[in-house]
Amino acid sequence: MTWDIKKVLVTGGTGFIGAHIVDNLLGLGITVRLATRSMAKAEEFIAQRQKFADRIEPFQIEDFCSSSDQPNPFLEAVKGCDGIIHAASPLSYDVTNAEEELIKPAIRGVKIVLEAAITEPKIKRIVLTSSFASVMDVARGPGPGFTYTGEDWNPLTYEESAKADAVIAYRGSKKFAELEAWNFIKHNKPGFDLVTFCPPMTFGPVVHPVENVESLNLSNRILWDIYAGADPLPVSRVPVWVDVRDLALAHARSLITETVGGRRYVPSSPDKFSYALAAKIMKDSGLGETVTGTIPESDLNPLGYDLDWQSVTRDLGVNFHGFEECVVDSITQFKTIPRESK
Ligand SMILES: NC(=O)c1ccc[n+]([C@@H]2O[C@H](COP(=O)([O-])OP(=O)(O)OC[C@H]3O[C@@H](n4cnc5c(N)ncnc54)[C@H](OP(=O)(O)O)[C@@H]3O)[C@@H](O)[C@H]2O)c1
């Protein structure tokens, strides 16, 4: 059963995953209120999709790192919206104070979006882009033989993540931001419900403005670095991944599918991946003339734990791309992006 959703507030819509989500919503005939810290970025984004310009409403917000005594910009942004997709969250490992730059802003982003949402009675559902980082228990190891589901939570404490390096702090940022949302629903019992997605590494072609390959988002940048000759090849922290096109479709469908309220999904491709496999795919497809990294045979048949992608297919009708198609489509497109800044 689907809901009649006319207008949706999207945060992070100018980013890698968010832009695909926005395109899916526009394709469903929905108007998007695009929350961004940069109106220039929003204008560039709209210029890329002129035929939908009258259904994209740019809306200026502050960085989630801003002090908490600033007025909540989302109080205005939510007006007239039927739903929210909250995809914005700081995602960088280049930080000097991980608690201040990753954990606190991720939590604050969720908090101010939900506090505003409760003031707009039209809102039926919030969809939150969390991460497999909020699900994975590192102590479990790489598997195989175990399937993570939406019931699993990363056991990190706030204190552990706050004093750790940026990689672990990011995992904490996603866990505690997502928990903020579930706890808000539990304690405030608002008129809307919540769906969360906990995707692993996300790869795929980009549909947001990218000035040059250096400014590709973190996950795609790794694919590009392999193409550009990284040696040694990077080593993946997880064997699981998802294609951005499938992830975005799942977000859009979850917003309009009435019956999935309260679900926590771990979307992923059934294929496992390794960066060695990515390098081999690039070479075999004739795209990777610049791939020079040594490809260890032992990494070409990646094994590992599974994610319960079947729930996404069953509830939302999303079928997942394979790794080869994703790598070929991504590199084919990235090769058309300028190498250097103008
Ligand atoms: N890429 C992956 O492999 C992956 C995997 C799992 C989960 N995720 C999650 O998916 C979401 C989107 O990731 P992405 O890869 O699309 O990232 P992205 O390309 O960096 O986009 C994130 C967007 O969030 C907004 N944003 C970032 N930091 C912010 C801050 N401090 N305050 C306010 N807004 C901020 C930015 O929008 P403006 O500049 O327009 O304000 C940016 O375009 C994030 O929640 C991330 O944690 C990503």
Give pLDDT, residue 87. Answer: 98
196 lines ligand 1 (CB under 6 A): no
* Residue owning the nearest CA to atom 46 of ligand 1: 89
Q: For residues 175 and 107, is the Cβ–Cβ distance under 8 A?
A: no
Pocket test for ligand 1, best of 9, 11, 16, 134 (most atoms within 8 A of CB): 16
Cα 62 to chain centroid, rounded: 20
Q: For residues 136 and 148, is the Cβ–Cβ distance under 8 A?
A: yes
Structure tokens at 318: 């999303």
Q: For residues 106 and 64, is the Cβ–Cβ distance under 8 A?
A: yes
C-alpha span between 3 and 9 (Å, rounded): 16
Give pLDDT, residue 342. Answer: 60
Q: The domain containing residue 174 runs over which residues?
A: 7-203+240-268+308-313
Give pLDDT, residue 294. Answer: 86
For residue 327, being part of any structural domain is answered with no
Torsion of CA 317, 319, 320, 322, to 10 degrees: 180
Q: For residues 87 and 45, is the Cβ–Cβ distance under 8 A?
A: no
Torsion of CA 94, 39, 56, 129, to 10 degrees: 20
- d(CA 284, ligand 1 centre) in Å: 32
Q: For residues 23 and 51, is the Cβ–Cβ distance under 8 A?
A: no
For residue 338, being part of any structural domain is answered with no
Number of structural domains in the chain:
1
C-alpha span between 242 and 229 (Å, rounded): 23
293 lines ligand 1 (CB under 6 A): no
Compute CA distances 33 → 61, 86, 107, 302, whole Å: 12, 12, 21, 41
Supply the CATH number for residue 32's domain.
Answer: 3.40.50.720
Which ligand 1 atom lies nearest to the CA of residue 92?
A: 20
Which ligand 1 atom lies nearest to the CA of residue 217?
A: 19
C-alpha span between 103 and 85 (Å, rounded): 20
- Extended beta strands in the chain, E state: 7-11, 31-36, 56-60, 83-86, 125-129, 147-148, 193-197, 201-203, 241-243, 264-265, 306-307
For residue 220, being part of any structural domain is answered with no
Cα 243 to chain centroid, rounded: 10
Residue 3: CB partners within 8 Å, gap ≥ 6?
Answer: 82, 124, 125, 255, 256, 257, 258
Q: Identify the bridge partners of residue 36 per DSSP, sorted by sequence position.
A: 60
Give pLDDT, residue 230. Answer: 93
For residue 326, being part of any structural domain is answered with no
267 lines ligand 1 (CB under 6 A): no
For residue 302, being part of any structural domain is answered with no
For residue 319, being part of any structural domain is answered with no
Low pLDDT (below 50) residues in the chain: none
State the amino acid at position 278 in one-letter form: A
For residue 337, being part of any structural domain is answered with no
Token pair 């081999």 is found at: 280
For residue 225, being part of any structural domain is answered with no
- Report the run of H or E that residue 327 belongs to, with start and end: helix 323-334
90 lines ligand 1 (CB under 6 A): yes
Give pLDDT, residue 341. Answer: 66
